Amino acid sequence: MDQRTYNQFCATARTLDIVGERWTLLLIRELLTGPKRFGDLQNSLRGLGTGLLSARLKHLEREGLAQKVTLPPPARTPAYALTEAGEELEPAVLALARWGLKWAMGERREDETFHVGWTVLGLRSLFVPEAAVGLRATYEFRVGDEVFHADVDDGTIATLHGPAQRPDVVIEADEGLFADIASGRTDLAAGLNDGSAVASGAPDLLRRLGDLFVRPPAQDRPGSPAAHSKAVSRP
């Protein structure tokens, strides 16, 4: 199958020629948090069939954005990882996530899936470097069956799947709370207050979470269905 192209000598158009097809950027989103096996990608991208997933991965390999790797022991299984070129798409993906939190999220639809593992990258999009200057701390999150952590180091952040070696703060919650946080209906502080989340560790570091990770206030796009619905519902 021939690859579709905009046929424009423009950096934006050339980039969209490579990553603009449906599912491609979501595959990059998944691989930005580390190598993934084929089955891992299937589980995270419900609705993406096996054949199309294979085709998209081959496309990313052909374009030099992803490559096959072997996971280290004890797994020792084949997986896919981003190349340097693929990893450099992270700022663009995070910018899209921040835009989406402000302009596109709203309430969760009935047919929409939610995967707590997406929070691993989401934390990077919410991170405020200025609030972390001089801070070194590790936050571990245990949400349902998922465990991930964030290492904050003097204005920088690394978020990874799996438990931390020596977490300073551990937060436990259920998946529903994090889905509500993603929709903007609540926040972690409210979850800690009402008991839907519990935390242990250094109290001073726990208090800083609200400054380290800030969700942009949601806005309605003029003329969007959400804006129209609110306008109709006003007395």
CATH of the domain at 20: 1.10.10.10
Quick one: tokens of 141? Answer: 């999150």
Predicted local distance difference test score (pLDDT) of residue 184: 87
End-to-end Cα separation, the chain, in angstroms? 54
- As for how many domains the chain has, the answer is 2
For residue 109, what are the CA distances in angstroms to 134, 206, 221? 40, 32, 18
Q: Tell me the pairing of strands 169-173 and 136-143.
A: parallel
Say if 107 falls within a structural domain: no
Nearest Cα to Cα of residue 221 among 121, 108, 100: 100
Say if 150 falls within a structural domain: yes
Per-residue pLDDT tens digits for 62-100: 999 999 999 998 888 999 999 999 999 999 999 999 999
Q: Give the CB-side neighbour count of residue 50, counting CA atoms within 13 A.
A: 1
Say if 161 falls within a structural domain: yes
Q: Are 84 and 121 part of one and the same domain? A: no
Extended strands (E) in the chain: 66-70, 78-82, 136-143, 146-153, 156-161, 169-173, 197-201
**Local confidence band at 4 (pLDDT 50, 70, 90 cut-offs):** confident
**Local confidence band at 222 (pLDDT 50, 70, 90 cut-offs):** confident
DSSP run (H or E) holding 48: none
Cβ pair 160, 149 in contact under 8 A: yes
Contact residues for 20 (Cβ-Cβ < 8 A; gap 6+): none
pTM: 0.90
Q: Are 162 and 78 part of one and the same domain? A: no
CATH of the domain at 198: 3.30.1050.10
**Local confidence band at 227 (pLDDT 50, 70, 90 cut-offs):** low
Cβ pair 116, 43 in contact under 8 A: no
Predicted local distance difference test score (pLDDT) of residue 211: 96
Mean pLDDT, the chain, rounded, equals: 93
- Please name the residue that has the structure tokens 């991965």: 57
Quick check: 58 pLDDT over 50? yes
